[in-house]
Chain A
Amino acid sequence: MTATTIERRPQPYMNPYLAGIGLGLVLLASFVLVGRGLGASGAFNSVIAWVVNAVAPAHARSNEFIAGYLGDGTESPLKAWLVFEVLGAFAGAMFSGLLAGRAKVMTEKGPRVSVRTRLAMAFAGGMLMAFGAALARGCTSGQALTGGALLNLGSWAFMLMVFAGAYAVAYFVRWQWR
Protein backbone atom coordinates (compact mmCIF):
# COMPACT_ATOMS: atom_id res chain seq x y z
CA MET A 1 0.00 0.00 0.00
CA THR A 2 1.28 3.43 -0.89
CA ALA A 3 0.48 5.64 2.04
CA THR A 4 -0.31 9.23 1.18
CA THR A 5 0.50 11.89 3.70
CA ILE A 6 -2.63 14.05 3.54
CA GLU A 7 -5.28 11.33 3.69
CA ARG A 8 -6.76 10.23 6.97
CA ARG A 9 -5.20 6.94 7.87
CA PRO A 10 -7.69 4.08 8.02
CA GLN A 11 -7.96 2.56 11.47
CA PRO A 12 -6.68 -1.00 11.96
CA TYR A 13 -9.23 -3.81 11.91
CA MET A 14 -10.81 -5.17 15.06
CA ASN A 15 -9.19 -8.09 16.87
CA PRO A 16 -10.54 -11.17 15.00
CA TYR A 17 -11.66 -12.92 18.18
CA LEU A 18 -13.59 -9.86 19.37
CA ALA A 19 -15.17 -9.44 15.93
CA GLY A 20 -16.03 -13.15 15.99
CA ILE A 21 -17.76 -12.82 19.36
CA GLY A 22 -19.69 -9.81 18.02
CA LEU A 23 -20.73 -11.71 14.92
CA GLY A 24 -21.65 -14.75 17.01
CA LEU A 25 -23.87 -12.65 19.28
CA VAL A 26 -25.64 -11.17 16.24
CA LEU A 27 -26.21 -14.71 14.97
CA LEU A 28 -27.48 -15.80 18.40
CA ALA A 29 -29.84 -12.80 18.49
CA SER A 30 -31.19 -13.91 15.12
CA PHE A 31 -31.85 -17.44 16.41
CA VAL A 32 -33.59 -16.11 19.52
CA LEU A 33 -35.63 -13.40 17.81
CA VAL A 34 -36.75 -15.04 14.57
CA GLY A 35 -35.66 -18.68 14.81
CA ARG A 36 -33.30 -18.50 11.85
CA GLY A 37 -29.71 -17.58 11.20
CA LEU A 38 -27.91 -15.13 8.94
CA GLY A 39 -27.75 -15.40 5.16
CA ALA A 40 -26.80 -13.55 2.02
CA SER A 41 -27.08 -15.55 -1.21
CA GLY A 42 -30.84 -16.03 -0.75
CA ALA A 43 -31.32 -12.26 -1.08
CA PHE A 44 -29.62 -12.36 -4.50
CA ASN A 45 -32.01 -15.17 -5.51
CA SER A 46 -35.00 -13.07 -4.48
CA VAL A 47 -33.81 -10.16 -6.61
CA ILE A 48 -33.28 -12.46 -9.62
CA ALA A 49 -36.77 -13.94 -9.10
CA TRP A 50 -38.19 -10.42 -8.96
CA VAL A 51 -36.45 -9.35 -12.20
CA VAL A 52 -37.37 -12.49 -14.15
CA ASN A 53 -40.94 -12.28 -12.89
CA ALA A 54 -41.19 -8.67 -14.00
CA VAL A 55 -39.72 -9.31 -17.46
CA ALA A 56 -41.26 -12.71 -18.23
CA PRO A 57 -43.87 -13.74 -15.64
CA ALA A 58 -44.91 -16.97 -17.40
CA HIS A 59 -41.29 -18.04 -17.71
CA ALA A 60 -40.66 -17.29 -14.02
CA ARG A 61 -43.70 -19.36 -13.00
CA SER A 62 -42.61 -22.32 -15.11
CA ASN A 63 -39.10 -22.34 -13.61
CA GLU A 64 -39.21 -24.35 -10.41
CA PHE A 65 -36.14 -22.68 -8.88
CA ILE A 66 -37.44 -19.15 -9.47
CA ALA A 67 -41.02 -20.02 -8.60
CA GLY A 68 -39.76 -21.09 -5.18
CA TYR A 69 -38.91 -17.45 -4.47
CA LEU A 70 -42.21 -16.06 -5.76
CA GLY A 71 -44.48 -17.56 -3.12
CA ASP A 72 -48.18 -17.46 -3.94
CA GLY A 73 -47.69 -14.35 -6.02
CA THR A 74 -49.63 -12.01 -3.73
CA GLU A 75 -46.49 -10.37 -2.35
CA SER A 76 -43.40 -9.00 -4.05
CA PRO A 77 -40.48 -11.46 -3.96
CA LEU A 78 -38.45 -8.56 -2.59
CA LYS A 79 -40.53 -8.63 0.58
CA ALA A 80 -38.30 -11.38 1.94
CA TRP A 81 -36.51 -11.67 5.27
CA LEU A 82 -33.08 -12.04 3.70
CA VAL A 83 -33.54 -9.03 1.41
CA PHE A 84 -34.14 -6.81 4.45
CA GLU A 85 -31.29 -8.43 6.34
CA VAL A 86 -28.87 -7.81 3.46
CA LEU A 87 -30.03 -4.18 3.16
CA GLY A 88 -29.22 -3.88 6.85
CA ALA A 89 -25.82 -5.48 6.29
CA PHE A 90 -25.08 -2.91 3.60
CA ALA A 91 -25.95 -0.09 6.01
CA GLY A 92 -24.03 -1.64 8.89
CA ALA A 93 -20.88 -2.21 6.84
CA MET A 94 -21.03 1.32 5.44
CA PHE A 95 -21.44 2.76 8.93
CA SER A 96 -18.46 0.76 10.21
CA GLY A 97 -16.32 1.64 7.20
CA LEU A 98 -17.05 5.36 7.41
CA LEU A 99 -16.45 5.37 11.14
CA ALA A 100 -13.02 3.80 10.70
CA GLY A 101 -11.97 5.80 7.62
CA ARG A 102 -11.91 2.63 5.53
CA ALA A 103 -14.68 3.50 3.05
CA LYS A 104 -12.98 4.45 -0.19
CA VAL A 105 -13.80 3.98 -3.88
CA MET A 106 -11.11 1.59 -5.07
CA THR A 107 -10.46 -1.85 -6.51
CA GLU A 108 -8.87 -4.45 -4.26
CA LYS A 109 -6.01 -6.14 -6.08
CA GLY A 110 -2.34 -7.01 -5.97
CA PRO A 111 0.31 -4.88 -7.72
CA ARG A 112 0.83 -7.23 -10.68
CA VAL A 113 -2.69 -7.26 -12.11
CA SER A 114 -4.63 -4.63 -14.06
CA VAL A 115 -7.94 -3.28 -12.79
CA ARG A 116 -9.72 -4.72 -15.83
CA THR A 117 -8.37 -8.23 -15.27
CA ARG A 118 -9.15 -8.05 -11.55
CA LEU A 119 -12.75 -7.03 -12.28
CA ALA A 120 -13.12 -9.85 -14.82
CA MET A 121 -11.88 -12.28 -12.17
CA ALA A 122 -14.28 -10.81 -9.61
CA PHE A 123 -17.19 -11.32 -12.00
CA ALA A 124 -16.13 -14.90 -12.78
CA GLY A 125 -15.66 -15.65 -9.08
CA GLY A 126 -19.11 -14.26 -8.32
CA MET A 127 -20.66 -16.51 -10.96
CA LEU A 128 -18.92 -19.60 -9.55
CA MET A 129 -19.91 -18.59 -6.04
CA ALA A 130 -23.56 -18.24 -7.06
CA PHE A 131 -23.56 -21.66 -8.68
CA GLY A 132 -22.02 -23.23 -5.59
CA ALA A 133 -24.36 -21.43 -3.20
CA ALA A 134 -27.40 -22.43 -5.25
CA LEU A 135 -26.34 -26.09 -5.29
CA ALA A 136 -25.52 -26.06 -1.59
CA ARG A 137 -28.69 -24.16 -0.59
CA GLY A 138 -26.65 -21.47 1.11
CA CYS A 139 -23.34 -19.66 1.23
CA THR A 140 -20.71 -18.92 3.84
CA SER A 141 -23.35 -17.13 5.94
CA GLY A 142 -26.42 -19.33 5.56
CA GLN A 143 -24.60 -22.64 5.51
CA ALA A 144 -21.15 -22.40 7.12
CA LEU A 145 -21.84 -19.82 9.84
CA THR A 146 -25.48 -20.53 10.65
CA GLY A 147 -25.47 -24.29 10.07
CA GLY A 148 -22.07 -24.54 11.73
CA ALA A 149 -23.45 -23.11 14.98
CA LEU A 150 -26.46 -25.46 14.80
CA LEU A 151 -24.21 -28.50 14.18
CA ASN A 152 -25.96 -29.14 10.85
CA LEU A 153 -24.28 -32.12 9.16
CA GLY A 154 -24.60 -30.73 5.62
CA SER A 155 -23.22 -27.37 6.71
CA TRP A 156 -20.05 -28.87 8.20
CA ALA A 157 -19.49 -31.03 5.11
CA PHE A 158 -20.05 -27.90 3.01
CA MET A 159 -17.61 -25.86 5.07
CA LEU A 160 -14.81 -28.41 4.73
CA MET A 161 -15.30 -28.44 0.97
CA VAL A 162 -15.23 -24.63 0.76
CA PHE A 163 -11.79 -24.58 2.36
CA ALA A 164 -10.69 -27.54 0.20
CA GLY A 165 -11.80 -25.81 -3.02
CA ALA A 166 -10.22 -22.49 -2.10
CA TYR A 167 -6.87 -23.96 -1.00
CA ALA A 168 -6.76 -26.19 -4.09
CA VAL A 169 -6.80 -23.26 -6.53
CA ALA A 170 -5.22 -20.50 -4.40
CA TYR A 171 -1.77 -21.14 -5.84
CA PHE A 172 -2.98 -20.69 -9.43
CA VAL A 173 -4.54 -17.26 -8.83
CA ARG A 174 -1.87 -15.81 -6.54
CA TRP A 175 -0.78 -13.41 -9.31
CA GLN A 176 -4.03 -11.60 -8.69
CA TRP A 177 -3.23 -10.76 -5.09
CA ARG A 178 0.52 -10.40 -4.64
Chain B
Amino acid sequence: MTAPFFQYGMFGDETSLVVAFFIGIGFGFFLERAGFGSARKLVSQFYLNDLAVFKVMFTAIVTAMLGVTYLGWIGWLDLSLVYLVPTYLMPQMVGGLVLGVGFVVGGYCPGTSVAATATGRIDGLVYGLGIFAGMFTFAELFPWLKGFYQAGSGEATTIPGAFGIPYGIVVFAVVLMAVGGFYGAGLLEKKFAAAAGE
Protein backbone atom coordinates (compact mmCIF):
# COMPACT_ATOMS: atom_id res chain seq x y z
CA MET B 1 0.00 0.00 0.00
CA THR B 2 1.34 3.43 -0.91
CA ALA B 3 -1.81 5.54 -1.22
CA PRO B 4 -3.52 7.72 -0.02
CA PHE B 5 -0.21 9.61 -0.01
CA PHE B 6 -1.24 12.08 2.71
CA GLN B 7 -2.29 9.29 5.10
CA TYR B 8 1.01 7.52 4.47
CA GLY B 9 2.85 10.65 5.51
CA MET B 10 4.30 11.59 2.12
CA PHE B 11 3.44 15.24 2.79
CA GLY B 12 2.18 17.32 5.69
CA ASP B 13 -0.81 19.55 6.45
CA GLU B 14 0.61 22.66 4.79
CA THR B 15 1.37 20.84 1.55
CA SER B 16 -2.08 19.24 1.59
CA LEU B 17 -3.56 22.75 1.30
CA VAL B 18 -1.47 23.40 -1.81
CA VAL B 19 -2.67 20.05 -3.18
CA ALA B 20 -6.24 21.14 -2.35
CA PHE B 21 -5.82 24.27 -4.46
CA PHE B 22 -4.56 22.31 -7.48
CA ILE B 23 -7.27 19.66 -7.18
CA GLY B 24 -9.75 22.53 -6.98
CA ILE B 25 -8.41 23.96 -10.24
CA GLY B 26 -9.17 20.66 -11.96
CA PHE B 27 -12.59 20.52 -10.30
CA GLY B 28 -13.60 24.03 -11.38
CA PHE B 29 -12.11 23.59 -14.84
CA PHE B 30 -14.20 20.53 -15.67
CA LEU B 31 -17.34 21.98 -14.08
CA GLU B 32 -17.07 25.00 -16.38
CA ARG B 33 -16.06 22.89 -19.42
CA ALA B 34 -19.23 20.83 -18.93
CA GLY B 35 -21.34 23.99 -18.90
CA PHE B 36 -22.08 23.88 -15.19
CA GLY B 37 -21.33 27.55 -14.69
CA SER B 38 -24.69 28.21 -16.37
CA ALA B 39 -27.92 27.87 -14.39
CA ARG B 40 -29.97 27.33 -17.53
CA LYS B 41 -27.74 24.46 -18.62
CA LEU B 42 -27.94 22.90 -15.13
CA VAL B 43 -31.71 23.11 -14.67
CA SER B 44 -32.32 21.71 -18.18
CA GLN B 45 -31.73 18.40 -16.42
CA PHE B 46 -35.04 18.87 -14.60
CA TYR B 47 -36.97 19.71 -17.78
CA LEU B 48 -35.44 16.70 -19.56
CA ASN B 49 -34.24 18.51 -22.68
CA ASP B 50 -30.55 18.36 -21.74
CA LEU B 51 -29.39 15.64 -19.36
CA ALA B 52 -25.75 16.75 -19.14
CA VAL B 53 -25.92 16.90 -15.33
CA PHE B 54 -26.81 13.21 -15.16
CA LYS B 55 -24.26 12.23 -17.83
CA VAL B 56 -21.35 14.17 -16.33
CA MET B 57 -22.14 13.14 -12.76
CA PHE B 58 -22.50 9.44 -13.46
CA THR B 59 -19.52 9.31 -15.82
CA ALA B 60 -17.44 10.94 -13.06
CA ILE B 61 -18.81 8.56 -10.41
CA VAL B 62 -18.10 5.49 -12.57
CA THR B 63 -14.61 6.73 -13.52
CA ALA B 64 -13.57 7.41 -9.92
CA MET B 65 -15.32 4.27 -8.63
CA LEU B 66 -13.52 2.01 -11.12
CA GLY B 67 -10.27 3.83 -10.31
CA VAL B 68 -10.42 3.23 -6.56
CA THR B 69 -11.67 -0.33 -7.09
CA TYR B 70 -8.81 -1.35 -9.39
CA LEU B 71 -6.17 0.53 -7.38
CA GLY B 72 -7.50 -1.23 -4.28
CA TRP B 73 -7.44 -4.65 -5.94
CA ILE B 74 -3.81 -4.33 -7.01
CA GLY B 75 -3.03 -3.34 -3.43
CA TRP B 76 -1.82 0.13 -4.21
CA LEU B 77 -4.58 2.17 -2.53
CA ASP B 78 -5.89 1.44 0.96
CA LEU B 79 -9.59 2.22 0.55
CA SER B 80 -10.16 1.98 4.31
CA LEU B 81 -8.09 5.16 4.72
CA VAL B 82 -10.27 7.17 2.32
CA TYR B 83 -12.72 9.30 4.31
CA LEU B 84 -16.37 8.27 4.18
CA VAL B 85 -19.09 10.65 5.36
CA PRO B 86 -20.87 8.88 8.26
CA THR B 87 -24.37 7.67 7.51
CA TYR B 88 -27.37 9.39 9.11
CA LEU B 89 -29.99 8.14 6.70
CA MET B 90 -33.02 10.25 7.67
CA PRO B 91 -31.38 13.68 7.84
CA GLN B 92 -29.42 12.85 4.68
CA MET B 93 -32.58 11.99 2.78
CA VAL B 94 -34.52 15.03 4.01
CA GLY B 95 -31.44 17.17 3.36
CA GLY B 96 -31.27 15.79 -0.18
CA LEU B 97 -34.90 16.64 -0.78
CA VAL B 98 -34.48 20.23 0.46
CA LEU B 99 -31.27 20.59 -1.51
CA GLY B 100 -32.96 19.34 -4.68
CA VAL B 101 -35.66 21.98 -4.31
CA GLY B 102 -32.99 24.62 -3.76
CA PHE B 103 -31.19 23.41 -6.88
CA VAL B 104 -34.10 24.01 -9.27
CA VAL B 105 -35.35 27.16 -7.48
CA GLY B 106 -31.92 28.82 -7.43
CA GLY B 107 -30.31 27.18 -10.44
CA TYR B 108 -27.07 26.00 -8.84
CA CYS B 109 -25.48 23.89 -6.15
CA PRO B 110 -22.58 25.13 -4.01
CA GLY B 111 -19.78 23.96 -6.35
CA THR B 112 -21.47 25.15 -9.53
CA SER B 113 -22.31 28.53 -7.96
CA VAL B 114 -18.56 29.02 -7.49
CA ALA B 115 -17.97 28.17 -11.18
CA ALA B 116 -20.80 30.53 -12.16
CA THR B 117 -19.46 33.40 -10.04
CA ALA B 118 -15.97 32.87 -11.47
CA THR B 119 -17.37 33.32 -14.98
CA GLY B 120 -19.33 36.49 -14.19
CA ARG B 121 -22.80 35.15 -13.41
CA ILE B 122 -24.46 37.59 -10.99
CA ASP B 123 -27.14 35.05 -10.09
CA GLY B 124 -24.34 32.65 -9.14
CA LEU B 125 -22.88 35.24 -6.78
CA VAL B 126 -26.28 35.99 -5.23
CA TYR B 127 -26.88 32.26 -4.88
CA GLY B 128 -23.59 32.03 -2.97
CA LEU B 129 -24.75 34.82 -0.65
CA GLY B 130 -27.93 32.80 -0.14
CA ILE B 131 -25.81 29.81 0.88
CA PHE B 132 -24.06 31.95 3.50
CA ALA B 133 -27.42 33.18 4.81
CA GLY B 134 -28.79 29.64 4.91
CA MET B 135 -25.73 28.23 6.66
CA PHE B 136 -25.84 30.98 9.26
CA THR B 137 -29.55 30.38 9.85
CA PHE B 138 -28.94 26.63 10.16
CA ALA B 139 -26.13 27.21 12.66
CA GLU B 140 -28.31 29.54 14.75
CA LEU B 141 -31.16 27.01 14.76
CA PHE B 142 -28.80 24.12 15.45
CA PRO B 143 -29.78 23.66 19.13
CA TRP B 144 -33.33 22.82 17.93
CA LEU B 145 -32.23 20.83 14.87
CA LYS B 146 -29.56 18.80 16.64
CA GLY B 147 -31.83 15.88 17.54
CA PHE B 148 -32.83 15.29 13.92
CA TYR B 149 -29.33 16.08 12.61
CA GLN B 150 -27.96 13.20 14.68
CA ALA B 151 -30.75 10.71 13.97
CA GLY B 152 -29.14 7.56 12.62
CA SER B 153 -26.25 5.21 13.17
CA GLY B 154 -23.45 7.64 12.45
CA GLU B 155 -21.33 4.80 11.13
CA ALA B 156 -19.79 5.03 7.69
CA THR B 157 -21.89 2.47 5.83
CA THR B 158 -21.34 1.41 2.24
CA ILE B 159 -23.91 -0.30 0.03
CA PRO B 160 -21.85 -3.54 -0.13
CA GLY B 161 -21.53 -3.47 3.66
CA ALA B 162 -25.18 -2.67 4.38
CA PHE B 163 -26.64 -5.38 2.13
CA GLY B 164 -23.85 -7.95 2.37
CA ILE B 165 -23.21 -7.90 -1.40
CA PRO B 166 -19.61 -8.32 -2.64
CA TYR B 167 -17.98 -5.00 -3.53
CA GLY B 168 -17.22 -6.04 -7.12
CA ILE B 169 -20.85 -6.98 -7.78
CA VAL B 170 -22.09 -3.56 -6.65
CA VAL B 171 -19.44 -1.86 -8.79
CA PHE B 172 -20.55 -3.91 -11.79
CA ALA B 173 -24.23 -3.11 -11.10
CA VAL B 174 -23.48 0.63 -10.93
CA VAL B 175 -21.64 0.46 -14.26
CA LEU B 176 -24.58 -1.37 -15.86
CA MET B 177 -27.03 1.12 -14.36
CA ALA B 178 -24.99 4.06 -15.66
CA VAL B 179 -24.74 2.63 -19.19
CA GLY B 180 -28.49 1.95 -19.20
CA GLY B 181 -29.08 5.45 -17.86
CA PHE B 182 -26.95 7.03 -20.59
CA TYR B 183 -28.95 5.19 -23.25
CA GLY B 184 -32.23 6.27 -21.63
CA ALA B 185 -30.96 9.85 -21.31
CA GLY B 186 -30.37 10.00 -25.06
CA LEU B 187 -33.93 8.85 -25.74
CA LEU B 188 -35.42 11.36 -23.29
CA GLU B 189 -33.44 14.23 -24.78
CA LYS B 190 -34.70 13.42 -28.26
CA LYS B 191 -38.27 13.39 -27.02
CA PHE B 192 -38.11 16.57 -24.94
CA ALA B 193 -35.80 18.68 -27.12
CA ALA B 194 -38.68 19.01 -29.58
CA ALA B 195 -41.08 19.90 -26.77
CA ALA B 196 -38.79 22.69 -25.55
CA GLY B 197 -38.96 24.26 -29.00
CA GLU B 198 -35.31 25.25 -29.15
- Which one of B60, B93, B105, B136 lies within 8 Å of A27 (CB-CB)? B60
Q: Mark A75-99, 1 if CB is under 8 A from B, else 0.
A: 0000101101111111111111110
Query: Do B34 and A106 touch across chains, with their CB atoms under 8 A apart?
Result: no
* Known A85-B27, A125-B107, A129-B103; further 17 A-B contacts with Cβ < 8 A: A34-B5, A40-B114, A44-B132, A65-B139, A88-B22, A89-B25, A97-B115, A126-B106, A126-B131, A126-B132, A126-B134, A132-B94, A137-B88, A145-B57, A145-B61, A154-B88, A161-B94
Interface set, chain B 110-168, CB cutoff 8 A to A: 110-124, 126-140, 142-143, 145-146, 148-149, 156-162, 167
Query: Do B102 and A126 touch across chains, with their CB atoms under 8 A apart?
Result: yes
Task: Spell out A's residues near B (CB within 8 Å).
Answer: 13-14, 16-17, 19-41, 43-45, 47-48, 52, 63-66, 79, 81-82, 84-98, 100, 102-110, 115, 118-119, 121-170, 173-174, 176-178
Count of A-B residue pairs with CB < 8 Å: 532
Interface set, chain B 166-194, CB cutoff 8 A to A: 167, 170-171, 174, 182
Query: Do A24 and B63 touch across chains, with their CB atoms under 8 A apart?
Result: yes
Shortest distance in angstroms between B28's beta carbon and chain A's nearest beta carbon?
Answer: 3
Give Cα A178 to B57, complex, Å: 24
Identify the closest chain B residue to A84 (Cβ).
B20
Query: Do B84 and A91 touch across chains, with their CB atoms under 8 A apart?
Result: no
Shortest distance in angstroms between B15's beta carbon and chain A's nearest beta carbon?
Answer: 10
Give Cα A36 to B99, complex, Å: 22
Contacts of A66 in B (CB 8 A): 139, 142
- Which one of B47, B81, B130, B167 lies within 8 Å of A170 (CB-CB)? B47
Contacts of A45 in B (CB 8 A): 135
Knowing A89-B115, A95-B25, A141-B110 are in contact, say whether A26-B122 is a contact too (CB < 8 A): no
Contacts of B89 in A (CB 8 A): 153-154, 157
Knowing A20-B56, A92-B27, A147-B85 are in contact, say whether A13-B41 is a contact too (CB < 8 A): yes
Identify the closest chain B residue to A20 (Cβ).
B59
Shortest distance in angstroms between B88's beta carbon and chain A's nearest beta carbon?
Answer: 7
Give Cα A13 to B56, complex, Å: 12
Give Cα A6 to B26, complex, Å: 32
State the majority secondary structure of interface residues on A.
helix
Query: Do B130 and A28 touch across chains, with their CB atoms under 8 A apart?
Result: no
Shortest distance in angstroms between B70's beta carbon and chain A's nearest beta carbon?
Answer: 10
Q: Residue B75 at the A interface, CB < 8 A?
A: no
Query: Do B122 and A38 touch across chains, with their CB atoms under 8 A apart?
Result: no
Q: Residue B21 at the A interface, CB < 8 A?
A: yes
Query: Do A86 and B24 touch across chains, with their CB atoms under 8 A apart?
Result: yes
Shortest distance in angstroms between A159's beta carbon and chain B's nearest beta carbon?
Answer: 7
Q: Residue B73 at the A interface, CB < 8 A?
A: no
- Which one of A88, A148, A159 lies within 8 Å of B23 (CB-CB)? A88
Query: Do B131 and A44 touch across chains, with their CB atoms under 8 A apart?
Result: yes
Identify the closest chain A residue to B167 (Cβ).
A151
- Which one of B91, B118, B142 lies within 8 Å of A97 (CB-CB)? B118
